[in-house]
Chains A and B, each alone.
Chain A
Amino acid sequence: MREINYRTAVREAMVEEMMRDERVCLMGEEVGHYQGAYKVTEGMLEKFGERRVVDTPIAEFGFAGVGIGAAMVGLRPIVEFMTWNFSAVAFDQILNNAAKLYQMSGGQYRVPVVFRGPNGAARQVAAQHSHSMDPFYVNIPGLHVCAPSTPRDAKGLLKTAIRDDNPVIFLEGETLYAVKGEVPDEGVEELIPFGQARIAQEGTDVTLVAWGRPYHTAMQAAESLAKEGISCEVIDPRTLRPLDHRTVVESVKKTNRCVIVHEHWEHGGTGAQLVDLVQREAFDYLDAPVLRVHNQDVSMPYAVNLENTVLPTVERVVDAVKKTLYVAS
């Protein structure tokens, strides 16, 4: 297998699907002439032309609506948000149109649209541009939510998302775009199904669950803990809705302990949902309360030292794991 970065993997998925299906098109701010704010869509305008790669005005509510409308009448649009922070402007389109029209039209209109872009904190973009938007979207029935952490998962899940007949929220990461990893060779097609977690590393003492950027934090923590003789099983759920909690529950039955690492705030979201499912379905297997490591409950500060305090760190994950093992940190 070859190694490519996350950015290229996302682009390959879009290019392959646009070549395979002429109904697939791309729209968003700076996706065309500027080659993408994060160069994810580099070269796509040249390859597919202005009919299929459309630069939009800075008007998220408007172009999200255009994407939904186009999906309703037969296209399979990919709508890029420059970052997921700006999707807040288009929230009503996603909540009340994308997620509802199939039901509200009595099954007459499907909405096969993919909303994608970078999610979570980048570096020092402050309170309004550092949101992890996943808790807002995982709460909505009618949507799928993907949060791949590796290039391979990004490519395989995006291809599945584009072919899915339902609206998909596809959460990438500005600091993930440069992450490299193995991806099947060109010409080898891999579609990764929704609702299937990946066991990134097997272990015996504690189950670590993480997705997106914090997945890499969790992996580093697992590596550091391994040196102390603590064996972590690391699970990446990959899609947050549907959420493959069975894999997590089965793992906890083996390890008896669970720590969940996520970038969104504490109150609500996939982290809290997993705690609920684990305590319900693995109650008799828990040797310690399920712990979470997450963003501190404050708006993101600009200063880098404070930002590092707010985001989950390797040290905090290590501390939480030791707490579930009742060993001194």
Chain B
Amino acid sequence: MAKIIGLPKLSPTMDEGTIVKWVKKEGDAIDVDDLLAEVETDKATMEFRSFDKGVLLKILAEEGSALLPDAPVMIIGQKGDDISALIANAGAKPAAKAEAAPAQASAKSKANVAPESESESESESKSESESESESESESESDSAPAAKTAPKSAPAVGAAAQTRSDGRPLASPYVRKVARERGVELANMQGTGPHGRIIKRDLDGLAAPRGKKRSAASKETKVQKLSSMRRTIARRLTESKQTVPHFYLTIDIDADPIWHAREQINRALEVEGEKISVNDLIIKACALSLLKMPEVNASFAGDAIEYHGRVDISVAVAIPDGLVTPVVRDADEKDVREISREVRSLAGRAKEKKLKPEEMSNGTFSISNLGMFDIENFSAVINPPEGAILAVGTVREEPVVKNGLVVPGRRMRMTMSCDHRVVDGATGAKWLQLLRRYLEEPVTMFI
């Protein structure tokens, strides 16, 4: 018996999922636990695996459609099953907040539309270049395309722009020609055609010849719907800043020792081709400080404070559409190399949106580092239910006073944001003293 399969809840907090990619297609045999599709949730891109065995008879949700949990996404059954009643049941379109490109969708839903002759081969044959040169000369007169207006009908919403794997932007041949003539780069443009193809009507967004003013269309406000991740960020950080009483403590440490420690460690690791960062050492130093002062390794829990026995450090990682905070578990027990490897792996997978939700939850303290952007100092928003977050600035080379002499040195600022319900000023200050000691005398980390 064929049946409709709904979108499963792939994480406890998933209130919407977007089908990023169908891995199986209609007609494919499906076994239990086969990967069916990749679904973007509020946390990550998750694997949607089958609980059933049979044949994928019909896909009901296009790639790119944002769906509520349990929305019908496909029909599984046996070959030859009559699924017309099921399709009618599921509704002509899925219960979607459809963001799929309608041009594409309609082409697929209507069998009688012209064939999808979109196999636009880029290979240019010899005969083309011949006939091109012959036709080019007569063509210049009609190339004043920007002045022409596209028809007034509502534009189809393009799917998210995709750069192809070879880095070449998707653009129609006509747009490429105009871009060549105007000496314009297409690489950073977003098109409104299928798969983000840059098409004629997007030409208004093309930079005008150098020195000229930008067109009015390019100054228009672009409205970008929130992705599920941005929605989560917006909700959680607003909640934090509105309900958690933040206060801030800033220290400025001598960064020479940690700098040299890192150099020494990396020299030692060179033969093995490994490297650690200053941030890895900061994670380790924080972990040891938290172990020593559980008052800071704590969460506010309504009518109680939870002092955590474990030291799990969340590390903020910027990814193209936002940020995530993967967690280094038991950072106090791990050596710097282990921490370094783990952070690299977590950050790498975060950028590919491949982190599992459990890898991004239940930290006890956070570190956010904007040193690579040369930020001297900043204060971060606490990541609830954690009690504190440390914002790390860049290592500055500057004159410092040592033994009464002005000498070249290195300094680094860091600001801790504390939840005042959990951590008081003096507690936070004491903790920062501990941290300063580890960082200014790194060898004490290895006692």
Give me the interface of A with B, judged by CB distance under 8 Å.
204-205, 228-231, 249, 253-254, 256, 259, 266, 275, 280-294, 296, 309, 313, 316, 319-320, 322-323, 325-329
Complex contact B174–A326 (CB within 8 A): no
> Chain B 116-160 against A: per-residue CB contact (8 Å), 1 yes, 0 no?
011010001101100110011001001001001011111110100
Complex contact A282–B135 (CB within 8 A): yes
The chain B residue sitting closest to A293, CB to CB, is B114
CA distance A228 to B155 in the complex (A): 13
Complex contact A328–B118 (CB within 8 A): no
Say yes or no for B175: interface residue by CB 8 A criterion: yes
For A249, A285, A287, the residue with the greatest tally of chain B CB atoms inside 10 Å of its CB is: A287
Say yes or no for B113: interface residue by CB 8 A criterion: yes
- A319-B106 CB under 8 A given contacts A253-B142, A281-B135, A288-B199: yes
CA distance A294 to B112 in the complex (A): 9
Interface size class of B (residues with CB under 8 A): 35 or more
B159 to chain A, nearest CB (A): 11
Give me the interface of B with A, judged by CB distance under 8 Å.
102-103, 106-107, 110, 112-115, 117-118, 120, 124-125, 127-128, 131-132, 135-136, 139, 142, 145, 148, 150-156, 158, 172-177, 192-194, 199-201
List 9 tightest A-B contacts by C-beta distance, closest first: A284-B177, A287-B200, A229-B152, A328-B102, A291-B114, A327-B153, A320-B114, A287-B172, A287-B174
B65 to chain A, nearest CB (A): 15
CA distance A328 to B200 in the complex (A): 16
Contacts of A204 in B (CB 8 A): 148
B69 to chain A, nearest CB (A): 27
Complex contact A266–B113 (CB within 8 A): no
Complex contact B115–A228 (CB within 8 A): no
- A284-B200 CB under 8 A given contacts A204-B148, A293-B114, A328-B156: no
The chain A residue sitting closest to B192, CB to CB, is A326
Cβ-neighbour of B199 out of A249, A291, A313, A326 (below 8 A): A326
Complex contact A323–B173 (CB within 8 A): no
- A325-B173 CB under 8 A given contacts A249-B135, A280-B128, A289-B120: no
* Other 17 A-B pairs with CB < 8 A, given A283-B128, A287-B174, A328-B156: A205-B150, A205-B151, A228-B152, A229-B153, A282-B135, A283-B124, A284-B173, A284-B174, A286-B173, A288-B199, A291-B115, A309-B112, A323-B114, A325-B151, A325-B153, A328-B154, A329-B103
CA distance A229 to B153 in the complex (A): 7
CA distance A313 to B145 in the complex (A): 31
Cβ-neighbour of A326 out of B125, B176, B201 (below 8 A): B201
CA distance A316 to B106 in the complex (A): 11
Complex contact A280–B150 (CB within 8 A): no
Complex contact A283–B113 (CB within 8 A): no
Complex contact B151–A231 (CB within 8 A): yes
Contacts of A254 in B (CB 8 A): 142
Contacts of B118 in A (CB 8 A): 289
The chain A residue sitting closest to B198, CB to CB, is A287
CA distance A288 to B131 in the complex (A): 20
CA distance A113 to B268 in the complex (A): 94
Cβ-neighbour of A292 out of B117, B127, B155, B192 (below 8 A): B117
CA distance A284 to B142 in the complex (A): 13
- A290-B106 CB under 8 A given contacts A284-B174, A325-B153: no
Complex contact A327–B173 (CB within 8 A): no
Cβ-neighbour of B131 out of A231, A280, A313, A316 (below 8 A): A280
A-B contact pairs, 5 of them (CB 8 A): A254-B142, A266-B115, A287-B174, A288-B199, A326-B192
